[in-house]
Amino acid sequence: DAGVTQSPTHLIKTRGQHVTLRCSPISGHKSVSWYQQVLGQGPQFIFQYYEKEERGRGNFPDRFSARQFPNYSSELNVNALLLGDSALYLCASSQNTEAFFGQGTRLTVV
């Protein structure tokens, strides 16, 4: 069975640009969460979607948005990129309480 898949794995963007990150959850999982992890810190919660509805939002600016599609895959969008947005972006898939992560997208903003 495929685990959580994320694309792309690596990305370099310039300040002010926009980025879209994609995630496909484990088959049968209806919940997708997005996290940002900077070096030396734990993952910080950005969004959670369940059955295409936003279930939770972390303390991130409005430049961050997300959505979930009918097939439960998800996109995270970040507008007007800042240098400080450089991080590992993790997608987690869950069916109940346990969350399983994809390999992440490493975003570098220059």
Partner 1 sequence: RKEVEQDPGPFNVPEGATVAFNCTYSNSASQSFFWYRQDCRKEPKLLMSVYSSGNEDGRFTAQLNRASQYISLLIRDSKLSDSATYLCAHASGGSYIPTFGRGTSLIVHP
- Interacting residues with partner 1 (CB under 8 A): 31, 33, 35, 40-45, 48, 55-56, 88, 90, 92, 94, 96-104, 106
How near is the Cβ of 49 to partner 1 at its closest, in Å? Answer: 11
Which CB sits closer to partner 1, 10 or 83? 10
Nearest distance in Å: CB 60, partner 1: 14
What is residue 85's three-state secondary structure? helix
- Between residues 11 and 88, which has the closer beta carbon with respect to partner 1? 88
Cβ closer to partner 1: 27 or 79? Answer: 27
DSSP per residue, 9-56: SEEEE-TT--EEEEEEPPTT--EEEEEEE-TTS--EEEEEEETTEEEE
Q: How far is the CB of 61 from partner 1 (least distance, A)?
A: 19
Q: Which residues, in sequence order, are CB contacts of 95 under 8 Å at separation 6+?
A: 26, 28, 29, 30, 31
